[in-house]
Structure 1
């Protein structure tokens, strides 16, 4: 075991003990949201009725591939200003941050995204919650450092582990529901506290909040933002069949049930990362008309991984497993238009690979 893994194991056990002893709940739910620190000025949310959304995920490597995609996003933003971004998890590879003061926030978020000066609605991913092994999702307390970072960054928006944002605030065109299903999807399921269990306090409160928030929302478009997808043609697979496994709960069966009980048929779109690919799937009877979009190719491509295969075979209007890229959603009261841009690593140039009106 490496030194980093040994440290990770000690921190994991210490974190579990702290939670068992009654650690603070600040930032875990919208009711305990982290306030913005004095002296920090957040980039403002748009107030108009046309909203241009950058959709990107699995970016936080700090490598030249992340910088190449960021270069292409900057070039797009210079031509067509972006209103807000969705950062769909795995924000800090490979193990997540050690604290809210971790230099990785600068190296893997602030510096690569310089000039992309608008709010970034951030989602927690499995790598952001690593314990012993990178991406195992087994130390959920680690993700709280990303919530705490909300206090100090003009760009980074994550006041709690799950939350919603209406744009504009009054009579909204869109409401984004940022969800945290990591307790249900962890490769190392929560063992030390019932708080994180599938039927525990955290997920029960999140489900009740989501049901209430969706019922009260007056937004024309309701978009669920998650790291783990509900449907996925890439190798990570669908919820309930993650990694092609039949072993519960690590196959994501609880994730599937959460989506089906609280999201599907209530939101027009689910946008996710996790799979390092670009996918625009067709809505189905099973998904109750909700369309799954996967944008997780901001720094890595799944097609470059050993033994790459696609999986479920869901009908798709666009799929790309071999190129880096990002997506852009243009939202008005009357329409949703999607563009997919692929990126050349060598030059940082983006190319529009797909365009479609989705609604």
Structure 2
């Protein structure tokens, strides 16, 4: 179960009220949540992205397999890498799409744990702040979505980053899509504050495992490919602070790519519903360990010495396995 540490509950309460009124602008303060690990100190969770389609495009089938794996691993929580509701986010905090695409789909007992979620670009096309509203937690207590925040579970610290405002094209394609930028302007200030706060939090972290989660891929061979704004602005901070994994969605696939300049491993889990066969942009990159162009999800198991990460397809079959050791820092 997730708890707000210290006096953070009161701060978070005030933050959500002020934020909901639109008074805070260009703020990227990282809220911190404490999530107690298992009694043996280990941690396990599932990672899913790009899913909310009222059960269609195999969303329900993926949800079923998540429930099976979640029970087997006795997961502590679930991470959503964004694009939570298609096609254009939620219209308001009263939008029935919230329950039709979330509460009524992920019904397995093992999935009734805390869900930590970030916003994707499709979420910004609706009422982005609706997904951040505490009112949704009254409808379904397992839902928790903020722009950027930290989950501290002693063994690991997970840093959630709001990546959509980094992408310049979203600010210039207004004729095709409308984006809800309330609370973001001016974007340069927002991004600067976010990067500063993230860098400080990462430098101060003493966790055994440091994981960063965003919606957009830093590196991908899928439809959208590498996100150049993240390569130039976010990646240097991650490299300087020796993070272990960057996890994202956006491309509707599963993939595992190595960083050529650091031990960081880039893990895409954006296959929660709609996916396209053959939707691959590059095929000859030497840093790519695994790519799958179908629906599925990812599991993560952490101990003091090892991380075991598995990718599953829509039938629950294990497609790819990563084993990373803190001593050897190797994967296979």
State TM-score, norm by structure 1: 0.74
5 Å-filtered alignment, 1:102-113, equals: 102-113=95-106
CA-CA distance at 1:80 after TM superposition: 2.5
8 Å Cα contact 1:45-1:118 kept in structure 2: no
CA-CA distance at 1:256 after TM superposition: 2.3
2:170 maps to which residue?
188
CA-CA distance at 1:204 after TM superposition: 1.9
Counterpart selection for 2:74 from 61, 74, 81: 81
In structure 2, distance between residues paired with 1:126 and 1:77: 27
The alpha-carbon distance between structure 1 residues 28 and 300, as it changes in their structure 2 partners (threshold 3 A), is farther
1:251 maps to which residue?
none
2:129 maps to which residue?
144
Listed one character per residue, the Cα deviations across residues 108-167 of structure 1 (whole Å, up to 9, x for unaligned) are: 111111131111110110000016xxxxxxxxxx22111114543311122x31000111
The alpha-carbon distance between structure 1 residues 194 and 130, as it changes in their structure 2 partners (threshold 3 A), is closer
2:217 maps to which residue?
229
Listed one character per residue, the Cα deviations across residues 329-357 of structure 1 (whole Å, up to 9, x for unaligned) are: 110111111111111xxxxx311122231
Q: Note if 1:260 corresponds to 2:235.
A: yes
CA-CA distance at 1:23 after TM superposition: 2.8
- Please, which runs of 5 or more residues in structure 2 have no aligned partner? 1-20, 175-180, 326-332
Listed one character per residue, the Cα deviations across residues 88-126 of structure 1 (whole Å, up to 9, x for unaligned) are: 000011001111221111011111111311111101100
8 Å Cα contact 1:123-1:180 kept in structure 2: yes
The alpha-carbon distance between structure 1 residues 339 and 195, as it changes in their structure 2 partners (threshold 3 A), is closer
Q: Note if 1:23 corresponds to 2:31.
A: no
Q: Note if 1:319 corresponds to 2:288.
A: no
1:295 maps to which residue?
269
CA-CA distance at 1:34 after TM superposition: 12
Listed one character per residue, the Cα deviations across residues 297-321 of structure 1 (whole Å, up to 9, x for unaligned) are: 11021326xxx33227252222111
In structure 2, distance between residues paired with 1:319 and 1:23: 41
Q: Note if 1:173 corresponds to 2:155.
A: yes
In structure 2, distance between residues paired with 1:103 and 1:44: 29
8 Å Cα contact 1:27-1:161 kept in structure 2: no
CA-CA distance at 1:82 after TM superposition: 1.1
8 Å Cα contact 1:55-1:87 kept in structure 2: yes
Structure 2 counterpart SS, 1:327: strand
The alpha-carbon distance between structure 1 residues 79 and 27, as it changes in their structure 2 partners (threshold 3 A), is farther
- Please, which runs of 5 or more residues in structure 1 have no aligned partner? 1-21, 36-42, 132-141, 241-253, 344-348
Counterpart selection for 1:355 from 301, 311, 321: 321
The alpha-carbon distance between structure 1 residues 277 and 23, as it changes in their structure 2 partners (threshold 3 A), is same
8 Å Cα contact 1:92-1:128 kept in structure 2: yes
2:118 maps to which residue?
123
8 Å Cα contact 1:176-1:225 kept in structure 2: yes
2:107 maps to which residue?
114
Larger strand proportion, structure 1 or 2? Answer: 2
Structure 2 counterpart SS, 1:208: helix
Structure 2 counterpart SS, 1:196: coil
Q: Note if 1:63 corresponds to 2:70.
A: no
The alpha-carbon distance between structure 1 residues 186 and 156, as it changes in their structure 2 partners (threshold 3 A), is farther
